[in-house]
Amino acid sequence: MTVPDTQAPPADGVEAHFERTIERDQRVEPRDWMPGRYRTTMVRQIAQHAHSEIIGMQPEGAWITRAPSLRRKAILLAKVQDEAGHGLYLYSAAETLGADRADLTRRLISGRQKYSSIFNYPTTTFADVGVIGWLVDGAAICNQVPLCRSSYGPYARAMVRICKEESFHQRQGYEMLMCLMRGTPAQREMVQDAVDRWWWPSLMMFGPPDADSTHTAQSMAWKIKRHTNDELRQRFVDMTVPQARALGVTLPDPDLRWNEERGHHDFGEIDWSELKRVISGDGPCNAERIEVRRAAHEDGAWVREAAAAHAAKQADTAGREGMEA
């Protein structure tokens, strides 16, 4: 375990200072004292987020070579590269808490740390790329915009830039779907089929219902989470229904309807057993995703070794020059 339990034994007043920082809505910075559990929770949250960005490159990356035009290929390449960038910012943010990136990668590959369950579903047609942009990046935006106000400074700041890029991802997906919906009946069917497959897994991205969510209360108190899973899920549904109508697709839920009294859409029961199954490793693509990640990591070993050798050489030269001076 590379994450220290606490940074230093709290001297008089540091704990009160931490509490005040949270209470006043100020940011906790890497140099500040923080409770060991806050640090561990933050590392877990950031690592899980970083892993999701990196694994999330796979389902869409698989379509880069098969994009139907140069324009679509360029957009998709840019999007997938953005996700790699998000992963890198986030691993860096985790390192400010004392985590070690190589260790986090080992934990991902060995299954000890999770990533978003959504990336364990296959992308079977090019319409999936559009639907992922619209629904999956759309859900990610709902989840991540409030995190720009996370109490942990480096995470909050990384999230500002990430959210800007996520809104490009959402728009490119929606724009592609609008194009396809103006196309042939077969293209429209392809979009509807993708929506049918991705709708429910997208709702699961917000995590288990509040009643079963183990981390929510403490995370809300520490302001590393600003809204509950169910609140965010509701926001996503309310935002998406008019977009589906504008596109001309049907969301696959017979119970989905506007509730005048609540001022929100009601929607059907989510199959929580499916979420549990996919999280615990038994989704359609879990094994494949980890295998691809493991192979990529092993293939990159020579790059890491070369970079380390170069850094050692630089340090050695700088040391010798220092002695000569």
Q: How far is the CB of 162 from Fe ion (least distance, A)?
A: 6
Across the chain, which distance is largest between two alpha carbons, in Å? 79
Residues 43-82 binding Fe ion (CB under 5 A) are 53
The site string for Fe ion over 10-49 (x = CB under 5 A, - otherwise) reads: ----------------------------------------
Judged by CB, which is closer to Fe ion: 83, or 253? 83
Rule CB under 5 A: say whether 83 interacts with Fe ion.
yes
271 and 213 in contact (C-beta within 8 Å)?
A: no
Stretch that binds Fe ion, among 42-50, 159-167, 220-228, 273-281 (CB under 5 A): 159-167
Q: How far apart are CA 110 and CA 285, in angstroms?
A: 16
Find the helix or strand (DSSP H, E) in which 259 lies.
strand 257-259
Q: How far is the CB of 214 from Fe ion (least distance, A)?
A: 25
The angle that helices 286-299 and 36-55 make with each other, rounded to 10 degrees, is 90
Residues 136-155 binding Fe ion (CB under 5 A) are 137
AA identity, residue 105: T
Stretch that binds Fe ion, among 58-66, 168-176, 201-209, 317-325 (CB under 5 A): 168-176
Rule CB under 5 A: say whether 265 interacts with Fe ion.
no
Judged by CB, which is closer to Fe ion: 51, or 86? 86
Residue 66 is given by DSSP the state G
Judged by CB, which is closer to Fe ion: 128, or 137? 137
Q: How far apart are CA 290 and CA 19, in angstroms?
A: 39
183 and 157 in contact (C-beta within 8 Å)?
A: no
Judged by CB, which is closer to Fe ion: 86, or 225? 86
Judged by CB, which is closer to Fe ion: 51, or 169? 169
Q: How far apart are CA 55 and CA 302, in angstroms?
A: 21
CA distances from 1 to 94, 102, 109, 214 (A): 14, 12, 16, 23
Rule CB under 5 A: say whether 169 interacts with Fe ion.
yes
Stretch that binds Fe ion, among 4-12, 69-77, 164-172, 242-250 (CB under 5 A): 164-172
Stretch that binds Fe ion, among 110-118, 165-173, 295-303, 312-320 (CB under 5 A): 165-173
Residue 271 is given by DSSP the state -
64: tokens are 């880069």
SS3 state at 170: helix
Q: What are residue 271's phi and psi, to 5 degrees?
A: -80, 90
Judged by CB, which is closer to Fe ion: 137, or 253? 137
Judged by CB, which is closer to Fe ion: 3, or 104? 104
Stretch that binds Fe ion, among 86-94, 121-129, 202-210, 232-240 (CB under 5 A): 86-94
Q: What are residue 266's phi and psi, to 5 degrees?
A: -85, 150
Q: How far is the CB of 306 from Fe ion (least distance, A)?
A: 28
Residues forming contacts to Fe ion in the complex (CB under 5 A) are 53, 83, 86, 137, 166, 169
